[in-house]
Amino acid sequence: MNLPADVSKIINTLESNGHEAYAVGGCVRDCILGKIPHDWDITTSALPEQVKSLFDRTFDTGIEHGTVTVLLHGEGYEVTTYRVDGKYEDGRHPKEVTFTASLEEDLKRRDFTINAMAYNDRTGVIDDFGGMEDLEQKIIRAVGDPEQRFTEDALRMLRALRFSAQLNFTIDPDTYQAIRKLAPNLSHVSKERIQTELTKLLMSDHPDHIALVSASDLAPYIAAHFDEAFDVPSELAAPSPYIRQWMPDGLPGEKYLRWGTFLRGVPADAGRILRELRMDNDTIKKAKIIAALFQEDLPENMYEIRKILSVIGYEAYGAFLDAVECLCRDVFGEESAFRVEKIHTVRKHIQAIREAGDCISLKELAVKGQDLIEAGIPKGPAVGEMLHRLLEDVLRVPSHNTREILMAIARP
Ligand code: ATP
Ligand code: MG
């Protein structure tokens, strides 16, 4: 394994001062899988104050949980003292922790065998729980007794599904049974934590693993009506096969698109579900529109296309069409050609609209609110209403987007 120079430096500094130190968790897992870790966590026998005394630039990230961030060359490395966890209550950290001198104790508190390995150049890989073998077999397995581990922290159940999607692994049968049994415990977990894991799952290379949320009985404890996203009435599924709950391969990576595609079976509840999960407003807004678009046929004429673009913009609509195409190919296979042809036609129209520079938003309208006020429209809601009426006209007939024509329409 090749540790980055700064990680080696942190480990060596700790070791030469009489402490133990290892790279640990996700970075070890990813290295063994041949992936580039996105961050490096270090675990050490040194106490936080000792860590701080050994490095020039540190800050207290979660000092009460034993975590100090060491800054080297502009990069932060989380260095955490070996610990045993108490009950998990908030987002990332257990409510109370006890430091320990034993690496094995620290590894034992971690969620899955593949996340419970440590490494340094002196000792090589420390793998007390069979993480290496599970990586080879592509298995997500709880460290220790799964029921006990999911009782301590119910979010781990969702993390199991998330890692299965990110790595395309299966979940060990005992671990999976424990999830099905303890699924109701998820209702004690904060919505933010749930949302973070679901978003990582949907953003992964295997978003179809979202089906496990339903299969494992976790769905009813995610948010009100969430389980209905998996359970689309067949009369809806029949005319429009994209409505069936199915996450296709190759979807564009945008968060709103992944969520909107997933929630396409419950367009009326999409916004509420995402709000309950504390999703950011921009994502909610766009995901709702995407979910609703799946219910409609593709637009038939330029006006309909401009109208959609005025609501959602070029980027999101392009991503939506890519998603529809992925679904078509997945659902219809060889027979998708005809439908894909329709999508291509819409894309060509979009290109033409873009090249013509057609007005698709109030920003591009040839008159502004001030113009209308000066022409005698009373300040207040009437101005906005008129602007929207004018935009609607211009979406139908782009050549109307001149000051002269629009003022003629608007004049009271
Ligand atoms: P990634 O950062 O790529 O999402 P990761 O494995 O680094 O994956 P993190 O959530 O960053 O995941 O957690 C770092 C490590 O901390 C994990 O590898 C695991 O060992 C441990 N860990 C994190 N959350 C929990 C938890 N809820 N219960 C037990 N151990 C956990
Ligand atoms: Mg991590």
- pLDDT tens-digit profile of 333-388? 666 677 788 999 999 999 999 999 999 999 999 999 999 999 999 999 999 999 99
Spatial separation of the C-alpha atoms in residues 295 and 281, rounded to whole Å: 22
Instruction: State whether 83 and 148 are in the same domain.
Output: no
pLDDT of residue 93: 61
- Measured distance CA(65)–CA(48) in Å, rounded: 9
Do 177 and 291 have their domain in common?
Answer: yes
Written as one string, the DSSP assignment of 21-50 is EEEETHHHHHHHTTPPPS--EEEESS-HHH
In this structure, the dihedral spanned by the alpha carbons of residues 332, 338, 341 and 342, taken in order and rounded to 10 degrees, is: -90
Query: Rounded to an integer, what distance in angstroms lies between the CA atom of residue 269 and that of residue 27?
Result: 38
How many A from CA of 255 to the centre of ligand 2?
Answer: 19
pLDDT reported for residue 166: 97
Say yes or no: 125 and 257 in one domain: no
Nearest CA to ligand 1 atom 8: 26
- Assign 59 a pLDDT band (cuts: 50, 70, 90): very high
Residue nearest to atom 9 of ligand 1 (CA): 26
Same domain, 13 and 54: yes
What is the pLDDT confidence band of residue 236, given thresholds at 50, 70 and 90? Answer: very low
Taking only the tens place, the pLDDT of each residue in 190-211 is: 999 999 999 999 999 999 899 8
Q: What does the pLDDT read at residue 234?
A: 47
pLDDT band at 88 (very low <50, low <70, confident <90, very high): low
Q: Helix, strand, coil: what percent of the chain each, to 5? A: 60, 10, 30
Which residue in the block uniquely carries the two structure tokens 């920003």? 363
Mutate to test the pocket of ligand 1, among 107, 111, 155 (most ligand atoms within 8 A of CB): 111
76 & 12 share domain: yes
Cβ-count burial of 408 within 10 angstroms (0-12 exposed, 13-18 middle, 19+ buried)? exposed
Residue 63 sits in the same domain as residue 154: no
Domain span at 381: 362-410
Ligand 1 binding pocket, CB closer than 6 Å: 25-26, 41, 110-111, 115-116, 153, 155-156
| Residues facing residue 125 across a β-bridge | 119
* E-state strands within 270-405: none
Same domain, yes or no: 124 and 151: no
Residue 50: which CATH number? 3.30.460.10
Average pLDDT over residues 62-66: 89
* Ramachandran region, residue 409 (left: φ > 0; alpha: ψ -120 to 50; beta: rest): alpha
Q: Whose alpha carbon is nearest atom 17 of ligand 1?
A: 25
Q: How many structural domains does the chain have? A: 4
Average pLDDT over residues 12-16: 98
**Partners of 126 in beta bridges:** 118
Closest among 107, 110, 79, 78 to 94, alpha carbons compared: 110
- For residue 206, what are the CA distances in angstroms to 17, 166, 248, 287, 382? 44, 6, 9, 19, 49
pLDDT for the residue 239: 46
End residue of a domain, out of 105, 137, 169: 137
Closest ligand to 110 CA? 1
Q: Are residues 127 and 155 in the same domain?
A: no
pLDDT band at residue 170 using 50, 70 and 90 as cut-offs: very high
Pick the range with the lowest mean pLDDT from 60-64, 314-318, 369-373, 407-411: 60-64
Structure-block tokens of residue 150: 């999911």
What ligand 1 atom has the least distance to the C-alpha of 30? 3
Q: Which atom of ligand 1 is nearest to the CA of 88?
A: 27
pLDDT of 241 reads 47
On whether both 36 and 102 belong to a single domain, the answer is: yes
pLDDT of residue 412: 67
Residue 250 Cα to ligand 1 middle (Å): 26
Beta strands across the sheet bearing 118-120:
58-62, 67-72, 75-81, 41-44, 21-24, 118-120, 124-126
Asked if 361 contacts 353 with a C-beta cutoff of 8 angstroms, the reply is: no
Mean pLDDT, rounded, for 136-164:
97
Q: How far is the CA of 69 from the centre of ligand 2 (A)?
A: 14
Of 95, 114, 137, the position where a domain reaches its end is 137
How much is the pTM?
0.89
- Express each pLDDT in 245-301 by its tens digit: 568 778 889 999 999 999 988 999 999 999 999 999 999 999 999 999 988 889 989
For residue 72, the cross-strand partners are 75
- DSSP for 353-373 reads HHHHT---SGGG-SS-HHHHH
Is the distance from CB of 66 to CB of 48 less than 8 angstroms? Answer: yes
24 CA → ligand 2 middle, Å: 10
Q: In this structure, are 58 and 81 located in the same domain? A: yes
Tell me the percentage of the chain whose pLDDT exceeds 70: 92
Q: What tens digit of pLDDT does each residue of 111-137 get?
A: 999 999 999 999 999 999 999 999 999
What is the average per-residue pLDDT within 43-64? 95
Q: Pick the residue whose CA is nearest to atom 26 on ligand 1.
A: 111
d(CA 110, CA 144): 10
Query: Tell me, what's the pLDDT at 89?
Result: 60
